[in-house]
């Protein structure tokens, strides 16, 4: 299990979900995890939800680092060579929609998704990865938290990740984790996890973080009973405490931190039933399925995401398994120094195989009826090659950060199939039709889950704040 330096188990903000689970044994069931579940249920009772929502769960496929939209989703074959680049467009299953030759499998799956080509925003100040990821995860610009919003570590005053809000307001119907993040944290340089936590909601609402490679054997010690405690012994001890609780007076129940109720039963079930452990066990999948997703970290993470949704998790986020500003030759999307080689040989083959497998697999299983799948990055790349747009140095075939126009893919939960939403100009530099701000995409995710994006929540100072700055993009839905 990856351990992030500087993140102790106990802080002034409370225990993290991971450390609470690590406590293990009956003490886990008696204090920590039930408290988490109770908090989630109490919050859910106060949430504002809308009838008729089609999404019961969300998979966010986050391509951290900023993939080049013009080289993947939005080719411009008639643009000058220093803009169109090296790749040729190919036809898809949808008449009138072309994608890059780097995405042949997604070309065949295009009839199942909506391709947004008009993602756009103008940043306040420098547009680095951290600020952009924070905005995409929380629905709030980072300058609403601090004057700069640049390269700042996570804070308990941050706005919560949308998955934390969703898991709090609509907890799972079964004993499962509300929100799972994998296989690595959001990261730029030494800033780890900005925008990926519960912020002012408190650490009890943080995601369950599986920072391991699901293409290898994973360890789930925090979901496994201690070897010296058998299932029968655990059940006996649980029944004993349940009986004691039943004989307590109401006042004693109210003041006792060890009183058992339905949330203790959920916590007990989570550990004892093995449901969560089974969801992470890819050995239960046919080898053919695993090969279809791709036997690499990203592909197997997407397969795990599908299994988690099947098991009852509300929100799963799969982060591209490389640091945002890493070396593009080792799979980072941040293609300042080299763009075409890494996209052709590393990034796009894995994205193409994994994402198309997820879409087709979920559609075949009927899961797209009530699961929203979103695939995007924090921004795109500069249309012109070799120019500096963010203060970075770029090679002649490199592309810099570009938040003014980029692409996203959405599927399922009542969104339209086989359509393009919005359009970019002749150089893919700005939207020419139906611009979509990242915070509007976040609002759309809430809307699809039946949550009013305009509802008020209380921050750490008990001040009312809108859930998200944006408004849902209703044109994405059929």
All structural domains of the chain, each given as residue ranges with its CATH number in brackets, are: 21-476 (3.40.720.10)
pLDDT of residue 16: 45
Dist CA 97 CA 208 (whole Å): 38
Q: Pick from 69, 200, 64: which is nearest to 132 by CA?
A: 64
Instruction: Give the position of tokens 């949330």.
Output: 263
Dist CA 180 CA 206 (whole Å): 9
DSSP 128-148: -HHHHHHHHHHSS-GGGTSSS
Helix or strand run (H / E) with residue 320: none
- What percentage of the chain's residues is helix, strand, coil (to nearest 5)? 40, 15, 45
pTM value?
0.83
Mean pLDDT, consecutive 10-residue stretches, the chain (478 aa), reads: 35 42 41 49 49 86 97 98 97 98 98 98 83 94 67 89 96 90 93 94 91 92 59 53 49 40 52 76 96 98 97 96 86 92 96 98 98 97 94 92 97 97 98 97 97 91 90 95
Ranges of H-type helices in 30-71: 33-46
pLDDT of residue 267: 52
Tokens of 106: 């997604």
Residues counted in the chain: 478
pLDDT of residue 126: 65
Strand pairing class (456-458; 464-466)? antiparallel
């Amino acid at each position: 299990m990856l351990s992030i330096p500087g993140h102790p188990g106990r802080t002034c903000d409370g225990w993290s979900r991971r450390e609470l689970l690590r406590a293990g044994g009956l003490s886990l069931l008696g204090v920590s995890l039930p408290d988490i579940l109770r908090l989630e249920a109490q919050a859910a009772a106060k949430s504002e939800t809308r009838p008729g929502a089609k999404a019961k769960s969300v998979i966010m496929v986050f391509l951290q680092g900023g993939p080049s939209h013009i080289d993947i989703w939005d080719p411009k074959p008639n643009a000058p060579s220093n803009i169109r680049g090296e790749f040729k467009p190919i036809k898809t299953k949808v008449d009138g929609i072309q994608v890059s030759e780097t995405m042949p499998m997604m070309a065949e799956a295009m009839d199942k998704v909506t391709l947004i080509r008009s993602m756009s925003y103008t940043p306040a100040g420098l547009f680095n990865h951290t600020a952009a990821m924070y905005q995409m995860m929380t629905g709030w610009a980072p300058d609403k938290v601090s004057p700069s919003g640049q390269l700042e570590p996570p804070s308990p005053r941050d706005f919560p990740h949308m998955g934390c809000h969703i898991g709090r307001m609509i907890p799972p119907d079964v004993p499962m984790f509300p929100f799972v993040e994998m296989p690595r944290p959001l990261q730029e340089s030494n800033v780890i996890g900005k925008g990926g936590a519960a912020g002012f909601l408190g650490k009890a609402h943080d995601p369950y973080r599986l920072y391991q490679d699901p293409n290898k054997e994973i360890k789930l010690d925090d979901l496994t009973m201690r070897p010296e405690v058998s299932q029968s012994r655990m059940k006996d001890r649980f029944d004993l405490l349940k009986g004691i609780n039943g004989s307590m007076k109401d006042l004693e129940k109210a003041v006792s931190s060890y009183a058992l109720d339905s949330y203790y039963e959920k916590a007990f079930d989570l550990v004892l039933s093995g449901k969560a452990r089974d969801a992470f066990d890819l050995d239960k999948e046919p080898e053919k399925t695993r090969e279809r997703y791709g036997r690499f970290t990203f592909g197997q993470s997407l397969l795990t995401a599908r299994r988690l949704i099947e098991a009852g998790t509300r929100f799963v986020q799969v982060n591209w398994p490389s640091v945002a500003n890493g070396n593009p030759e080792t799979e980072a999307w941040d293609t300042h120094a080299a763009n075409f080689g890494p996209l052709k040989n590393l990034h796009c083959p894995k994205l193409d195989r994994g994402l198309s497998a997820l879409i087709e697999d979920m559609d075949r299983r009927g899961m797209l009826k009530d699961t929203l799948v979103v695939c995007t990055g924090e921004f795109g790349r500069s249309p012109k090659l070799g120019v500096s747009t963010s203060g970075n140095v770029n090679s002649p075939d490199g592309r810099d950060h570009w938040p003014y126009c980029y692409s996203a893919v959405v599927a399922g939960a009542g969104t339209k199939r086989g359509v393009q939403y919005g359009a970019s100009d002749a150089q893919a530099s700005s939207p020419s039709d139906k611009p979509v701000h990242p915070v509007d995409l976040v609002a759309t995710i809430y809307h699809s889950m039946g949550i009013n994006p305009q509802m008020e929540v209380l921050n750490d100072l008990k001040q009312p704040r809108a859930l998200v700055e944006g408004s849902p993009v209703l044109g994405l839905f059929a």
